[in-house]
Structure 1
């Protein structure tokens, strides 16, 4: 049902990592990761420093809607080809140039004097950023073979995390020494390598059967997907595979503080140490997928994700212990990084190359539903069950996704 590859390639791993395709995946991931927090944490800090009312700052979360609704205009990128660079590269360069200019525009705004103009500029950034995401996802799927999807997806996520770190951590540190306007100009300049990569990298091979009309670009991706055997089960799997991990993550910060860890301990161990563990997990997950394939990786990494969630229940029993906190966080971030790499590769493998932009945008939007709905009641559960029982329930919540693997990505399923 789902493409998988468990046969090792003849090309040495180091040569694959350093190949043109993987380098492009890494750079494009970085370009996609930079804009995200420029309209969230960095912008919030700027507005707070400028004395903007907290109510106004809170409403600015709505500028992130394009990330959730990107499937609405994704068919345009499947249907139309611009008269330069090709079907994917043409749109990608346009999105990147528009994104760079919108970040510059945002940096030239004055939050204290015209907060709603800032909101408009921030919306432009998220719209252009979401558009870049759509085309990058489509390009990556069409540029990489099924054998390369696992490693390519992990390097994309690696670059994405690095971009987020530069924008949030680097941006806030810089803002202590230079103006926020200059910070945004620097962040805009950091997107230039992605634009260079777009121009230099080859356009994916053209696939026959691409939509001839906009109506086809909207309808055909859905018709093609739902004509597959087990299509609904796969959608359920996409929603449930990381639901236990998502539920647990939504309440970890209150949990750490409730157990007695200081904010300094949480910042040092969870945010910094955990970040590098996530990158290691993402990278090692990509390497392992080369060896055992996407299907088996989903099984192994899914089990490790559930086990890592159970680690929080154990930490609730142990209590305040930096050693156990470090161990639990390292294991959780490592397994989550692996699981995310396999998850992203799995969704890419699901798409039909004629409609990559639309189908991947739909699947990635669907992936975000549990992040909102499943996280909403977690505070209620934690309050009434206690931390140990809450995290045990989060561990058990991983079972539906694991059971769906038997149909959606069987251990000995089809291989390429």
Structure 2
């Protein structure tokens, strides 16, 4: 239950809400967010822009968006990242930081490979490198998400989410606007090579920050003790016992813990997570082909999405940290669920008026300010659902569920765009946000996010 609900202490005033951004780990989260956002765009919107620029068919672009599917299935290897300590690096840096650094190196190498190979001649090879880059990026996300939840207490989680989103969006603009401007004066090889070099921002940050500490609460300790007791009653021994214990503790316990804490409401929560960003993901895959189809130039796309989109996203993310501290997660989740699909209708309007600069500016402002706020609030909400004993596994599950339905269905958006005009395309994608709105209202009544008590470390 939140402080406002319990009456234990009054809600923070504006100055106190702003002061949370001065915490060292909150500041550092912005740089880790940058490292996470850079590859996401380079295997996503920037990659599809590159393919569209080469004249690849829209249907093929839609299917190639599945190169980013690693983000949606990362829960499959999250237990390994959660429990396995890497040799040598694990002892030197700690579990979270060693996985971060290893993933960042893999990302840089993948981007460098994409820079050196022309998709026009070797499309499948470049697509394979995009998959490798996405895998490294998804692995980095698992480790960073776990670090973010474990590094500070609950009172700073919304601020951590806000600075993470801010850094993430700066990286997205860098990877799109920066890359497109480099392409305008040089070529795609230099653009992707420069982005590979920028991954050093994440590497340096990882080496500077301290490894977080997480504690196991009594309920979790009792759950793990049941695993030990079960193994004591079996004839398992040696490596078989070790593997069984690891699998149950790393894979089974995180899911059992979540279901035990939330009971029947767990399914409702997972459905809400699965639908919250569907409208955004649907629209996002076809955004770059849409801009080019309408008649905007590469320079217009890069500069407008950069100059206006970045400012509004940072404003939205900054507002998220303050508004959650002031009003709680529940109200802001409902607001975010309402606004995310509503902004898709602005793009339908742009499709009607054509390549007018003011139309694109208004669409980018509306989409990015609401997107920054909604994602910042949603990250804080997902963090509140985790148990610090299973942070990486549970958060990876939540974030995978958040993107998997939309990411899979987005593979068919090219076919949808070919079947209808752009106006109806954006109206249809806006309609996909209705379930999230309904579920947000239901959760506010039956499973109020501001009354969730997160077990584990709270300091």
Question: Shorter-chain TM-score: what band?
Answer: 0.7 to 0.9
Q: Of 255, 269, 285, which aligns to 2:320?
A: 285
Q: Of 19, 26, 43, which aligns to 2:23?
A: 19
Query: 1:135 Cα deviation (Å)?
Result: 0.6
Question: What TM-score results when the alignment is normalised by the length of structure 1?
Answer: 0.80
CA distance in 1, matches of 2:288, 2:112: 34
CA distance in 2, matches of 1:176, 1:287: 39
CA deviation digits over 1:70-113, x for unaligned, max 9? Answer: 11111101111232211211211121222223323333335455
How many residue pairs match? The answer is 413
CA distance in 2, matches of 1:174, 1:106: 15
Q: Are 2:381 and 2:449, in contact at CA under 8 Å, matched by a contact in 1?
A: no
CA distance in 2, matches of 1:36, 1:167: 9
Question: What TM-score results when the alignment is normalised by the length of structure 2?
Answer: 0.73
**Residue 400 in 1 paired to residue 431 in 2?**
no
Query: 1:204 Cα deviation (Å)?
Result: 0.8
CA distance in 2, matches of 1:244, 1:214: 35
Q: Are 1:240 and 1:398, in contact at CA under 8 Å, matched by a contact in 2?
A: yes
Q: Are 1:51 and 1:112, in contact at CA under 8 Å, matched by a contact in 2?
A: no
CA distance in 2, matches of 1:47, 1:254: 9
SS of 1:147's equivalent in the other structure is helix
Aligned Cα root-mean-square deviation (Å): 4.4
Q: Of 115, 125, 137, which aligns to 1:129?
A: 137
Q: Are 2:78 and 2:393, in contact at CA under 8 Å, matched by a contact in 1?
A: yes
**Residue 219 in 1 paired to residue 257 in 2?**
no
Call closer, same or farther: CA 1:381–1:110 in 2, change over 3 Å: closer
Structure 1 stretch displaced more, 224-233 or 205-214: 205-214
Call closer, same or farther: CA 1:41–1:256 in 2, change over 3 Å: closer
CA distance in 2, matches of 1:356, 1:205: 12
Call closer, same or farther: CA 1:61–1:402 in 2, change over 3 Å: closer
Q: Of 331, 334, 339, which aligns to 1:296?
A: 331
Which ranges in structure 1 are unaligned for 5 or more consecutive residues? none
CA deviation digits over 1:265-304, x for unaligned, max 9? Answer: 9958677534532332122112222222323322344455
Structure 1 stretch displaced more, 74-83 or 207-216: 207-216
CA distance in 2, matches of 1:310, 1:177: 34
- Structure 2 match to 1:38: 42
Call closer, same or farther: CA 1:323–1:38 in 2, change over 3 Å: closer
**Residue 160 in 1 paired to residue 168 in 2?**
yes
Q: Of 208, 214, 236, which aligns to 1:200?
A: 208
CA deviation digits over 1:290-343, x for unaligned, max 9? Answer: 222323322344455576677789x69x97898788667644542332122111
